[in-house]
Structure 1
Amino acid sequence: MLFEVWAPEAGQVVLCAEGRTRAMERDPGRAGWWRCEAPAAGGTRYGFALDGGPVLPDPRSRRQPDGPDGLSAVVDFAAFPEPEEWPGLPLPGAVLYELHIGTFTREGTFDAAAGRLPHLADLGVTHVELMPVCPFPGTHGWGYEGVAPWAVHEPYGGPAGLRRFVDAAHRHGLGVVLDVVHNHLGPSGNHLPAFGPYFTDTHHTPWGAAVNLDAPGSDEVRAYLTGSALAWLRDYGLDGLRLDAVHALADTRTPHFLAELSAAVDGLGARLGRPLFLIAESDLNDPVTTAPREAGGHGTHAQWNDDFHHALHAALTGESQGYYGDFAADPAYALTKTLTGGFFHDGTLSSFRGRPHGRPLERGTVPAYRLLGYAQNHDQIGNRALGDRLSARLSPGLLACAAALVLCGPFTPMLFMGEEWGARTPWQFFTDHTDPQLAEAVRTGRRREFAAHGWAAADIPDPQDPATRDRSCLDWTEPARAPHTELLAWHRRLIALRRDEPALARAPLAATDVSVAGDLTTVLRRGPLCVAVNPTGAPAALPVGAAEVLAAWRPVDPPGADGVLRLAPESAAVLRYGRPRPPSRRGEAGETPGTGVSVPR
């Protein structure tokens, strides 16, 4: 087997495999690369020693059976069972479901999560979006302090476990998206600096020195990250990648790293004959992120839209602290602007940042699916002091209102695990650092951060306490109890309605017409669908015109001759204009003839 490693500053490199050492030779065709042949098979443990130093794991390790500081192990992908034919699922028309392998089930493994895939298939989502699965210290963590960007966390099930999960998802008709972190590596177990200039002091980030995308040696670093991304898609059969915090990718080169990466992913998709896509998390509100490469953009296929989340959150909860301030000042305006224009801050003053922020999207040309819309995600829940979900503050009726705007709104919808039934379990920040000093630093830093906002230190969950992770695990008995059962039926119905209107998938932002009153009653029209929402505590009369009611959170009569829909407090309805609806599927939970799904609060 051929072993290779990039170590441009080393004078000597030794391969250590199964207790034997073998000197490596410089590769004459590639500057800075070392290579040698050695007997190996799947499971062979190995590492590299540079200039007489300690044996370190392979920067391109595909498996770390003993954690980030242990030896690497060879993975024989050819020995995995051959996957069934999978045509792929494109992003337009998708409904994503974000989950964390370590807390989606109590067991916290790929195999246990695969056992719950029938629930997701029945819910109607199209893609599962996994939070990061690269190795990190200990057993439990969010995954954003991972190292070894080509490997899979062993406690989850390692490479074989991930492959089994993806194959199982595809058998259920579900695509799989993986969250990958290119902007930094975790503080513990990161051995890349010993091998070469993977990081640079030219730029600084919240995590220290930046990943080297534009300083000397950056060609190989860019190829390292691109190669990792393609390996996830190729070797595990993944359908897309979510790119964490691309605004922290400091890159002054042309083309930008994201443009190189998107071109490589598009090329791989063409060779494989199935759609592949990239979803960027960006704090920049910059249209260049998703603009086509030929138009000077980065060419990623979509980006998270935090502005829509903030507008919806502020409108429903009334919270106004921190970055919610601008959205809470006039919540009706904020909700209208984000639903029709995508970004709220599109060159406007951001009081939270103390400066103007963002640029406008071209409403007439940008497909709305290029923005992801959500009421909750791992960040917006887990970065709260107590990790409390919307269900901790909102009634089932208000949760139903949020679901109607997310799942029948203009953007590609995304749910966070358990949201579909109004899960009451929190999603808290937890770690399992094996370094005592680092563990205490994380614990102290978390308490200091929230003390500045008035929280007592004793109230902040200890990230290192195993109970913090345990509290964050979903309770799978909840969906069988009210009001969770009704919320689950509501989400299923809304997703089915979205699936019945495939023409909406590629419509531009300009195809959305929204009216939001000062009391936050909302009428959203998009194509043949109309979404009416009344989040207030009083009945509402909403002018919607002549339309047929397809689904309602609480029983509602069709609009009268005056075209007015009369909604109960804290309720929502979805209507269709000008076309008879297909026959309802009798026997669905909560279905009432003549009104689609009617789910009482």
Structure 2
Amino acid sequence: MSTRFTVWAPAAGRVEVVTGGTRHPMEAKDSGWWEADVADAGHGTDYGFALDGADEVLPDPRSPWQPNGVHGQSRVYDHERFAWTDQHWHGRPLPGSVLYEMHVGTFTLEGTFDAAIERLDHLVALGIDAVELLPVASFPGHHGWGYDGVHLWAPHEPYGGPDGLKRFVDTAHARGLAVILDVVHNHLGPDGNRLGSFGPYFTDAHATPWGDAVNFDQEGSDEVRAFVVQNALMWLRDYHFDGLRLDAVHAITDQGAVHILEEMSRAVAAESAHLGRELFLIAESDLNDPRLVTSREAGGYGLDAQWSDDFHHALHAALTGERQGYYCDFGSLETLKKALTKVFVHDGTMSTYRGRRHGRPVNVGETPAHRFLGFLQNHDQVGNRAAGDRIGPLLPSPGLLKVGAALLLLAPFTPMLFMGEEWGASTPWCYFTDHRDPELARAVSEGRRREFARHGWVDGVPDPQAVETFRRSVLDWAEPDDPHHADLLEWHRSLIALRRAAPELNDPRLTAARVETDENGARWLMMWRGGVCVAANFGGVPLVLPAAPPGGRPRLLLASDPAIHLDADETVDSGPTSVALPGASAAIFSLTSGHA
């Protein structure tokens, strides 16, 4: 038994791999790489690297296993040892899928991969196609969001480590669920980040909110780019993930002729062909730039989808009436109409919040709608509120939760739910951390208070470092059995089932969606997707809307309120022609022509 250890350390004059207290000299190779074969080292062997004779032993930049936390030694992990059972799994296409965003640490009381497995049948019954995990790369402490990861190749040990993650993905595939992983390549967390000790992983040529930028375009960047692309392929190959969500790509600066996102897109496409599985990349970006999802042949980056914050902001502001911060540019039903039909509200138009023009138009005649993810809630839009409050308590009427769900799940875009949204979870989802460095912990807590004080939120800002802040964010799985929550859960199930059953609701053409609105007195919106119509009453008073043109015959498919009904015009003999909507309600009906 032996293991070949490799590490990139271009500036070092001497490198040793350390196992069991013994230092083994490494041989210098091309391009700053070092390697050494160590006998009697194999799966489970702890190791690290010493640079230029230093006493300090550093974890591996590509450590596959950090059982003792981000500051501990790395451990050899043999990927071939795991017995996969998903050999017949070929993935799920992103078009037509419904996604579900999950944070492993708060999805269950236990906060582990194995505990999450026990809830997968709930997602199957709901109609979910793909589970999107928030980052699981090893980060400091026990609990946190995962966006301050420092060992990008090692699954977080408190969640269950490498084997636990593989069990989760393997079981999800057995249930027919694809699994997507949120990865962070725009920065690393500060605590435990030792990449800079090995090579030029960072550069001060570009500034980011987290300090020096990841070096994608300066001297020495070839190996850094390879590190990131190979990390993406590792998750897809070794852990059988079906896709990756790329965090905040607008914070990646790359001035090279071939952007790192295009390079990654090309590499993932090749890996998909090699593995014979559907693989996809989804970007988070606030640039409103359709180039991300434009094909490489047409000069784009060739990513498969991107998040649509404008849709969220338009729907959230229309439902809640909030106008603070970035919501100041949203709120009217006309704004929501534009988001539903044009994707970006800011498509080169003036953004009051930014004080400048923002975005560029989507070619709605050519770009399929499934390339944009729609959501009413997600980890950012809930967790970055002062108290981590979900949308339910913000609404003037609880019926608007069903209105929002109907527009989300029947809109042209690929819909995504945030865990617990489907039953209107009452638990908040706060920003929480577990930094062990006292100075960093204090800075995070104080910085959070200062951030919200600028927005006028002085009271009720939970301390991110308080264990209770984390515990309050854990889902309560007794809630789905409560009649009120069960009713909302059934509404989501019915909407997803309808989306799957009606071909019009999977039509990728943005031009096939038609929306009409009115805000003169009553506030209503009607969205047609082929022969299916969603009629939504945002106001608090009942109203009657036309349900069919002359000669049409509507059929009620779903109603958010039992008082919803179709009415007939007594002057014509053509069946129901209007729909009566109580305040804060939604009806979905189909249209058929003729009198059959």
Q: Which amino acid counterpart does residue 574 of structure 1 have in structure 2? A: I
Distance 2:307 2:314 in 1: 14
Partner of 2:74 in structure 1? 72
- Indicate if the aligned counterparts of 2:504 and 2:529 stay in contact, CA closer than 8 A: no
> Structure 1 length normalisation: TM-score?
0.94
Contact 1:335 1:516 (8 Å CA) reproduced: no
Residue in 2 that maps onto 1:598: none
Name the stretch that deviates more: 386-395 or 120-129: 386-395
Counterpart mapping for 1:340-489 below 5 A:
340-394=341-395, 395-456=397-458, 459-489=460-490
- Give the deviation of 1:557 after TM superposition: 2.5
Corresponding residue for residue 31 of structure 2: 31
The answer (yes or no) to whether the contact 1:117–1:169 under 8 Å persists in 2 is yes
1:587 is aligned to: none
Task: Indicate how the Cα distance of structure 1 residues 559 and 161 shifts in structure 2: closer, same or farther if over 3 A, else same.
Answer: farther
Deviation digits for residues 27-81 of structure 1 (CA, Å, limit 9, x no counterpart): 1xx3110011113221111111111221101111111111111111111111101
**Stretch moving more, 468-477 or 538-547:** 538-547
For residues 573-600 of structure 1, the C-alpha deviation after alignment (integer angstroms, 9 at most, x for no partner) is 11223399xxxxxxxxxxxxxxxxxxxx
d(CA) in 1 for partners of 2:307, 2:259: 19
Bigger CA drift: 439-448 or 32-41? Answer: 32-41
TM-score (normalizing by structure 2) = 0.95
Per the alignment, in what secondary structure is the counterpart of residue 551 of structure 1? strand
The one-character-per-residue Cα deviations of 1:495-551 (angstroms, maximum 9, x if unpaired) are 001111346435221111011211431111112321111121111212231321111
1:596 alignment counterpart: none
Comparing 80-89 and 193-202, the one that deviates more: 80-89
Query: 1:452: how far off?
Result: 1.6
Matches within 5 A, 1:137-536: 137-328=140-331, 331-394=332-395, 395-456=397-458, 459-502=460-503, 504-518=505-519, 519-536=522-539
CA distance in 2: counterparts of 1:290 and 1:12, whole angstroms: 44
SS, match of residue 151 in structure 2: coil
- The residue identity in structure 2 corresponding to 1:37 is D
Of the structure 1 ranges 95-104 and 541-550, higher mean CA displacement relative to structure 2 is found in 541-550
3-state SS, counterpart of residue 154 of structure 2: coil
DSSP 3-state at the match of 1:439: helix
Would the aligned equivalents of 1:479 and 1:485 in 2 still touch at CA under 8 Å?
yes
Instruction: Deviation per CA, 1:444-469: give whole Å up to 9, x if none.
Output: 00011111222235x21011110000
Deviations 1:351-392 (A, max 9, x none): 111100000000111100111001100000000000000112
Aligned length: 575
User: Unmatched 5+ residue regions in structure 2?
Assistant: 569-574
Check whether the contact 1:126–1:173 (CA below 8 A) recurs between aligned residues: yes
Distance (Å, rounded) in 2 between the aligned partners of 1:282 and 1:505: 24
Q: Residue 562 of structure 1: CA displacement? A: 6.1
Deviation at 1:396, TM superposition (A): 3.0
- Whole-angstrom CA distance in 1 between matches of 2:92 and 2:194: 36
Amino acid at match of 2:561: R
Correspondence for 2:63: 61
Map 1:34-53; keep pairs closer than 5 Å.
Answer: 34-39=34-39, 40-53=41-54
Distance 2:13 2:254 in 1: 30
Q: Would you say the 8 A contact 2:411–2:505 is kept in 1?
A: no
Task: Give CA-to-partner distance per residue, 1:103-139, whole Å, 9 cap, x none.
Answer: 0001100000111000000000100000000111110
Q: Which position in structure 2 is the counterpart of 1:550?
A: 557
CA distance in 2, matches of 1:411, 1:166: 25
Q: Tell whether the 8 Å contact from 1:325 to 1:352 is kept in structure 2 after alignment.
A: yes
Q: Is the CA contact 1:386–1:461 (under 8 Å) kept in the aligned structure 2?
A: yes
Task: Give the corresponding residue for 1:592.
Answer: none
Counterpart of 2:588 (choices 566, 574, 582) is 574
How far the C-alpha of 1:559 sits from its partner, in A, is: 5.1
8 A contact 1:547–1:559 mirrored in 2: no
> In the alignment, residue 556 of structure 2 is paired with which amino acid?
V
Paired residue for 1:585?
none
> How far has the Cα of 1:491 moved from its partner?
0.2
Taking the aligned partners of 2:157 and 2:503, their CA distance within structure 1 comes to 39
Q: Is the contact between residue 132 and residue 180 of structure 1 (CA under 8 Å) also seen in structure 2? A: yes
**Which 4+ stretches in 1 moved above 6 angstroms?**
none
Secondary structure of 1:150's counterpart equals: strand
What is the aligned partner in structure 2 of residue 593 from structure 1? Answer: none
Distance 1:438 1:579 in 2: 66
Distance in 2 (alpha carbons) for counterparts of 1:287 and 1:357: 13
- 1:9 aligns to 2:11 (yes or no): yes
Q: Shift of the alpha carbon at 1:220? A: 0.5
Identity %: 58
Amino acid at match of 1:107: E
CA distance in 1, matches of 2:355, 2:219: 34
Contact residue 566 and residue 576 of structure 2 kept, 8 A: no
Call closer, same or farther: CA 1:502–1:226 in 2, change over 3 Å: farther
- Between stretches 463-472 and 12-21, larger displacement belongs to 12-21
- 8 Å CA contact retained: 1:101, 1:130: yes
One-letter identity of the residue aligned with 2:404: A
CA distance in 2, matches of 1:220, 1:440: 35
Contact 1:315/1:520 (<8 A) preserved: no
Structure 1 residues 400-409 or 542-551, which shifts more?
Answer: 542-551
Question: In the alignment, is the contact (CA less than 8 A) between 1:15 and 1:48 conserved in 2?
Answer: yes
What is the one-letter code of the residue matched to 1:508? R
Distance 1:321 1:271 in 2: 48
- For 2:555, the aligned partner's letter is E
Q: Which runs of 5+ in 1 are unaligned?
A: 581-601
